[in-house]
Amino acid sequence: MNIHGSKYQCTECGKCFIGNQQLTVHRRIHSVEKPFECSVCGKRFTRSEPLRTHSRIHSGEKPYKCHVCQKAFTQVANLTRHMRVHTGNKPYKCKVCQKAFRQSGHLNTHMRIHTGDKPFKCSLCDKNFRQSAALQSHKLQVHSNRRPYYCPYCGKLFKTAQHVKTHARVHSDAKPYSCTHCSESFRWRATLKSHLLKSHNEGTWFTCHICQKKFSNESHLKEHIQRHEGVKRFVCDECSKCFFTSTALKSHQLAHSDFKGFCCGLCGKDFKRPTAVKRHFKRCSDDIESDSIL
């Protein structure tokens, strides 16, 4: 019997268990044995419980519901993490700069800012990233022209399903990001983050090391530094014109397209750019007002 009072001990890692069955299940972690298989997609698991949780992806079952916003989840752990959005609880704190996070994974990713570690490398241009999600986003936005996802409201095309989901808020009044200090709500997470910094001094500013200008968003700082360095890494496939940001490139690419995704609500005229429809809308409303006076 070991020092923990249990005779069932893993010979691989030394972890102890109260019964042989628990030890048998644990040993699968150290082997390739995954006896539980999903009948839909074939994915395999070491235990039956993760398989039951996984099967909800195919069935659409989401038994764990938030009592605040009614959003539902397949796992209770996901609901627990989500509730921190409403409570403002951030239990994971960086020991270097004291910045706090809602999820341990976010803290681990943040720590790479201090260590400089960028373990995810693009196989096409050798650029490195701190997050795998950032790498995948980079490949889609820089090295791919595929836009298989479209908005059901306006038909606008996107490279990822998440981009469609985020864009769709333009067509609704949804403002899922609420400030924990006041009654303000926001459509975008970045807008909430900026609000917290500017109005409540919560969060961390990103400062340009060249001119000391401050930004609430790290990506905005990176774009700003590229202007100092003169780097234009976003290239138009049609005419090879280069731009500092992906937003500027997307705006330019409209010149090569006949798609007009913005419509005047007064006269029905279509436009390529939101700025154009805004200018037109003002003139259109002024004309209607003048006609009504006459």
| Calpha distance 9→24 (Å, rounded) | 10
Q: Tell how far CA 99 is from the center of its chain.
A: 19
C-alpha to C-alpha distance for 54 and 162, rounded to whole angstroms: 21
Three-state DSSP at 202 gives: coil
User: Would the pLDDT of 129 be above 60?
Assistant: yes
DSSP 8-state secondary structure symbol assigned to residue 281: H
At residue 44, the 3 state secondary structure works out as strand
pLDDT for position 235: 85
Encode pLDDT of 166-208 as tens digits. 888 888 888 888 998 999 999 888 889 889 988 998 888 889 9
Measure the CA–CA gap between 189 and 174, rounded to whole angstroms: 12
Which secondary structure element, helix H or strand E, spans residue 185, and what is its range?
strand 185-186
Helix (H) or strand (E) holding 270: strand 270-271
* Alpha carbon separation from 214 to 87, 94, 199, 211, 230 (Å, rounded): 28, 21, 15, 9, 19
pTM of the predicted structure, to 2 decimals: 0.41
Work out the average pLDDT over 25-34: 73
